[in-house]
Amino acid sequence: MPDKPVSSVRSRVFNVLTVAVDGGARSRAFDQFLLALILLNVAAVIAESVEPIGTRYRDAFRFFEIFSVIIFSCEYALRLWACVEDPRYSGAVRGRLRYALSPLALIDLLAILPFYLSFVTTDLRILRILRVFRLLRMAKIARYSQTLQIFGRVLVATRMQLLLTLILMCVLLLLSSSLMYAVELQAQPRAFSSIPAAMWWAIATLTTVGYGDIYPVTVWGKIFGSLVSVFGIAMFALPTAVLGAAFLDEIRSVQKKTVCPHCGKDISAGRHT
């Protein structure tokens, strides 16, 4: 008998914490409040780095940080408590442990962890790094953005193709830096003193950035550098094409799930009868 009221409250908490895809007013208001708080936190971190503002309003920034951490900590604790309502995380201990190790739960933990770690150390350099890590709270937006969720699913679906593209880029980087080292060593012993040193030129060229601090001066070096630049453009076009095609497939899949195949009406919010 005592478990039923607890389960009922936990179910209501879970429904509020779940992203409002069913039009729930409380859930939608909660999502909008947290989204606004996340954006304000990012703005506060940026404004605090400006010396006149950070010094003048130090107490206000500190109060806002404590307030935000309390809200985010309560949210994390409530999500950890109510997650067993989701069939994927059933089980009082194992279910919560599985949820705690999920990507979104880890992001929630990283959003509040820098604040608590600041009590462990007094090193000013580490404290500055921890303050910058508060920008990780921006990653919490992924929970409330359908676009970012689609992007995450696309990355997972195309991970093997992207890995293959990354391997090809690494091979091209190694070959281009090795050949440029062999061609330019005699003419520029300082700039191309080793293959790792030539890799800086190869990275800048393959990404079409071309900083200009290191560049070939020999005829063969210029010819080879031109070819590397062309190959760099082609290599970066590969992941773009893979992601673009996967995005279109995912969007079509989402549209099929939210539109009735018989009448074409929207069924995502339970409005179709």
- The verdict on 50 and 80 lying in the same domain is yes
The domain of 215 spans 159-258
CA distances for 140 relative to 105, 143, 187, angstroms? 9, 6, 52
Handedness of CA 246, 247, 249, 254 (dihedral sign): positive
- The verdict on 16 and 123 lying in the same domain is yes
Domain presence at residue 180:
yes
Q: What is the mean pLDDT of each run of 10 residues along the chain (273 residues)?
A: 66 77 71 87 86 87 91 91 87 88 86 83 66 72 71 83 87 90 89 88 81 84 88 81 82 66 49 44
Domain presence at residue 16:
yes
> What global pTM score does this model have?
0.63
- The verdict on 110 and 180 lying in the same domain is no
- The verdict on 116 and 179 lying in the same domain is no
Domain presence at residue 32:
yes
The CATH code of the domain that includes 183 is 1.10.287.70
266: left (phi over 0), alpha (psi -120 to 50) or beta: beta
Residue at a domain's end among 144, 173, 197? 144
- The verdict on 165 and 228 lying in the same domain is yes
Question: Which pLDDT belongs to residue 148?
Answer: 72
Phi, psi of 53 (to 5 degrees): -70, -45
The CATH code of the domain that includes 90 is 1.20.120.350
pLDDT digits (tens, 9 = 90+) for 16-29: 887 655 556 777 88
- The verdict on 123 and 183 lying in the same domain is no
Provide the number of structural domains found in the chain.
2
